[in-house]
Amino acid sequence: MRKINTLMKSVVAGGCLLMSFASAQVGIKTSNPQATFHTDGAKDNPGIGLPTNSQTANDVVFTANGEIGVGTLTPAVKIDVRSGINADNSIGIGETTQTASAAGAGAMRYNPLNGGKMQYSDGVVWQDFISSPTKSVVVANIRAANFAVKVPYQVSTGISGWTEISDPTDNFTPGTGIFTAPRTGVYLVSFTYDFVRIPIVSGYFSEARYVVNGNSIVKKCVKSFSNTSKQAQVAGSCVAGVQLNKGDTFQPHIYQSVFNGSLSLRTDTTPASNEYGFVNLSIVEQ
């Protein structure tokens, strides 16, 4: 099906009738083309209005700017395959025996040698693609008035209200204490805490817990104490590698069963204080 706007002109040259169409849109398998040339592979687009991301995923368009969209109606570059459903946006690049100079600067190829690698031409030689993204490195601590941060008895409590020291990729929210993984991989986490001195009278243990996506405990580090009513400093630490998928959230929790009430963390706001610097968190992307 072809949709053509009405502006048209024709001329006779050398006995031949020449026609040109201005502002034309051509559709294949669709009566509702959304670009200069639009193919609806599955013939599932609506007759009017915009197709959904799922319907667009099997479409190909050529825009008035000479851009090609595969799975997208709004290509942002000369060839754009970023469909909205992200089901199959990969691009297949094959091998070539051309020299880098013959292929020209900016060409890409797949080289199957040594386990396979992607290469690009700089106009002289084929260079290996090397990806080195900025890794996530979070360093934070709690700076709060003493007795201001409390952990209830036998309740897994997310620790929030952090002061951020380092977070170059902006993946940590200090106010909530929630980290969002920028990529799928392993993250090395170190968490230390210390409570104010109290008489241990029941339960006799505390836990640092690593909680993913709000409800999945992926690591526990338990610190147990003897049965005593004497004053004691309850503290703990936890170092572990945590596997996270892209978009997963992570938050350190504390569970305390040493004091039947809300137990305060040992904190202060000034480095000169004896209560400063005991609650710390670091997250390092591996």
How do the domains of the chain map onto residue ranges? 2-80, 92-131, 137-285
Mean pLDDT value across residues 58-74: 96
Confidence band of 201 (pLDDT split at 50, 70, 90): low
- Nearest residue to 81 via CA among 66, 95, 67, 94: 67
- The whole-number pLDDT of residue 188 equals 98
- The whole-number pLDDT of residue 9 equals 38
Confidence band of 18 (pLDDT split at 50, 70, 90): very low
pLDDT tens digits, one per residue of 247-285? 999 999 999 998 889 999 999 999 999 899 999 999 999
The neighbouring-strand residues paired with 151 are 263
Please name the fold of domain 137-285.
Answer: Jelly Rolls (2.60.120)
Instruction: Give buried/exposed letters for 7-32 (b at 16+ CB in 10 A, else e).
Output: eeeeeeeeeeeeeeeeebbbbebbeb
Average pLDDT, the chain: 89
Mean pLDDT value across residues 68-95: 94
pLDDT at 116 over 70: yes
Mean pLDDT value across residues 171-183: 97
pLDDT tens digits, one per residue of 139-165? 999 999 989 999 999 999 999 999 999
